Chain A
């Protein structure tokens, strides 16, 4: 993605027009990445706003020669990851009062049975396995890009992808076996 490096320098000095230009230029990218992890438009909007607030709070950390879109993607994925972990903790707490309150399925639109099963299986995956899998399969990022975005080694990403696929396979195979 092409962008004016001068914008970053101006944003670092606190220029509001530069900050506005950055939000305008990168909001679509942040929305697209956040959409991978959240199904609700309001959630996506809230997270995207948080991402930009974080970005401008830490804009001094960006070096002029740094790949800004890559850095922004890292902040976005980390923010989503943190939110997923918080949601999981909330969900676990809510499950104490009744499983029907905790599921995201209640707000999910109606979809074919196979997609629903796949979504449910994916939701059951731990966030640390789910995030790299979504980045690989949906965002079509390379292992190297995922490693940079998540701050992991490439080997670590490969291990997580392998475990995620294996778990999904066992979950889908198991559920299909039971349903027959």
Chain B
């Protein structure tokens, strides 16, 4: 184990020392981290000036209410089925409501009913 004693002795003498710019390098890395953390910490409300926050909040609430109303409330047709049929033009909503292509034609329905009667 004498080898180990000599080794530990030599290790005691082997010491690296910081150079003159070590502190500056550490401070530069610290500043980089601080800047990066600063960008992460800034959320949407931190960017907006405090005086405009209430106005922006009200506008956002109104927009959300409008979107919710559009999505949740069913659209009511402005005219009845007959009025819409007689009018020269139909709006897309009326067309969707009154001229549904998935519904079988009147002739087909009659044909099906007659077939059922015959059976």
The chain A residues found within 8 Å of chain B, CB to CB, are 16, 19-20, 23-24, 27-28, 31-32, 34-36, 39, 41, 44-45, 48-49, 52-53, 56-57, 111-112, 114-115, 117-119, 121-122, 134, 137-138, 168-169, 172
Contacts of B15 in A (CB 8 A): 31-32, 35
**Other contacts beyond A115-B7, A117-B3: 14, CB < 8 A:** A16-B27, A19-B27, A20-B23, A31-B16, A32-B16, A36-B11, A49-B25, A53-B26, A56-B30, A112-B6, A114-B3, A138-B12, A169-B1, A172-B1
Q: Which residue of B lies closest to A122 (CB)?
A: B7
In the bound assembly, the distance between CA atoms of A14 and B3 in angstroms comes to 48
- State whether A28 and B18 are in contact (beta carbons under 8 Å apart), knowing that A53-B26, A172-B4 are contacts in the complex: yes
The chain B residues found within 8 Å of chain A, CB to CB, are 1-4, 6-8, 10-12, 14-18, 22-23, 25-27, 29-30, 33
In the bound assembly, the distance between CA atoms of A52 and B16 in angstroms comes to 17
- State whether A19 and B8 are in contact (beta carbons under 8 Å apart), knowing that A35-B16, A169-B1 are contacts in the complex: no
Check if B30 sits within 8 Å of A19, measured CB to CB: yes
In the bound assembly, the distance between CA atoms of A53 and B32 in angstroms comes to 11
Contacts of B14 in A (CB 8 A): 35, 39
In the bound assembly, the distance between CA atoms of A7 and B1 in angstroms comes to 45
Partner of B22, one of A23, A32, A53, A122: A23
